[in-house]
Amino acid sequence: MPVTLQDIAAQAGVSKMTVSKVLNGQPGISEATRARVLTTAQKLGYRANAAARTLATGRSDTLGVLVPSLGTQYVSEVVRGADHAATALGLDLLISTTQERPGREGHNVSRLSGGLVDALLIVLPYALHDYAPALLDASLPVVVVGNESPGQPLALVDTDHMAGARLAAGHLLDLGHRRIAFVTGRPDVQASAERLRGYGEALRGAGLPVDERLIVDGDYTQPGGFHATRTLLARLDAGGLPLPTAVFAANDVSAFGVIEALRDHGLRVPGDVSVIGFDDIPQASQVHPPLTTVRQPLPEMGEVAARMLIARLRGGPAPPPRTVLPPTLVLRASTAPRRPH
């Protein structure tokens, strides 16, 4: 039979009301009594009924996390950080995916905000403007991680993409590279535009022009990076132009495709062409050669966002409109000084 509040009260020598207050985290109970009740509940194997608790308190003690998919290390790293913060503070996560379908975002948000969760963390949204007003009307604490959208009214946790791109391009310039190609990210993502802008700023700061022929469209995927590099090499070959000595890919996953395409073309990394990525997902240190990249502090971003939400639930101030964490350069074996020709 399930353990009841009366069972715990009898064993702990307190009233049923005291047990209820302790299990629901309510104030007015001494620390000694609280510890005795919790120890007794654990010894008896008590499991709270989440539905009953929600009805009684109006809270589920659950953070919702909306993600485009669970198939990318970017998302898994952000969720790992959020889970660490939530677990440390006694809350659970409820994860909902859109399967990369923008049309599902609003539907999933509506379900989560209908009482299933106390607050919502949205990772890399596609269609935030479609449902942001409804979230504001619902008075549900919300924090967005990544994919800043100009004018969106919700709190954001992100990294400084322009500064990170300047770090990446600056590293290549310091190694003596002057012909640096860039593989872009998705055109609908603000971070992609900021990384391209940072790349251009670094080149101009070094007195170099931005050669549009060295910029090719990618989509943040490994096949996208592969095909973009194939397109770049074919374009330069057809025009009789020299190859780049370095390639900056807008994220690590596309950098893996860049390296594959360069090898298919008979080029060595970094012997002939240096390659740098952006994000520092776990796989970046496991490929060959290990990828030099710009570290976006993904677990920390998830943890910061979750702590903001939990603080808000516990009576703290509203999260700041924009929290930007600094990127860092991670040096590995895929970049090297430019070889003299």
For strands 119-123 and 142-145, give the pairing.
Answer: parallel
Q: Is residue 55 part of a domain?
A: no
Residues 311 and 251 in one domain: no
Residue 284 lies in a domain: yes
pLDDT of residue 56: 46
For the domain that residue 39 is a member of, what is the CATH number?
Answer: 1.10.260.40
Q: How far is it, in rounded angstroms, from Cα 72 to Cα 70?
A: 6
Structure tokens that stand for 161 in this block: 């993409």
Looking at the fold, whether 136 and 100 belong to one and the same domain comes out as yes
Residues 83 and 200 in one domain: no
pLDDT string in tens for the chain (341-residue length)? 667 778 898 989 999 888 877 776 666 788 788 888 888 887 887 755 544 444 344 566 899 999 999 889 999 999 999 999 999 888 999 999 998 888 888 889 888 887 889 999 999 998 888 888 888 887 789 999 997 777 778 999 999 999 999 999 999 999 999 999 999 999 888 899 999 999 999 999 999 999 999 999 999 999 999 999 999 999 999 999 999 999 999 999 999 999 999 999 999 999 999 999 999 999 999 999 999 999 999 999 999 999 999 999 988 888 899 999 999 999 999 999 998 76
Q: Are residues 260 and 222 in the same domain?
A: yes
Structure-block tokens of residue 95: 């994860």
The number of C-alpha atoms within 13 Å of 200 and in the hemisphere containing its C-beta is 11
The residue type at 1: M
Q: Based on the domain organization, do 104 and 228 belong to the same domain?
A: no
Note whether 174 and 106 are same-domain residues.
no
Whether residue 286 is found in the same domain as residue 319: no
Considering the domain architecture, whether residues 155 and 169 belong to the same structural domain is answered as no
What's the total number of domains in the chain?
A: 3
Report residue 219 as tokens.
């989509």
| Helix ranges (DSSP H) in the chain | 5-12, 16-23, 31-44, 50-57, 73-88, 103-111, 128-138, 161-174, 190-205, 222-238, 252-264, 298-313
* HSE-CB for 256 with a 13 A CA cutoff: 17
Q: Are residues 267 and 182 in the same domain?
A: yes
Same domain, 198 and 180: yes
> Is the whole model's pTM more than 0.95, yes or no?
no
Q: List C-alpha distances in Å: 162 to 47, 121, 157, 200.
A: 48, 24, 15, 10
Residue 281 lies in a domain: yes
Full domain range(s) for residue 30: 5-48
Residue whose C-alpha is closest to residue 114's, from 78, 79, 62, 149: 62
Tell me whether residue 141 is in a domain: yes
Structure tokens of 321?
A: 């409109």
Residue 333 lies in a domain: no
Which residue in this structure is represented by tokens 């996560």? 93
Does residue 283 sit in the same domain as residue 193? yes
**Within a domain: residue 104?**
yes
- The CATH number that applies at residue 303 is 3.40.50.2300
> Rounded to an integer, what distance in angstroms lies between the CA atom of residue 43 and that of residue 284?
45
Does residue 67 sit within a domain?
yes
Is 335 within a domain? no
254/310 same-domain check: no
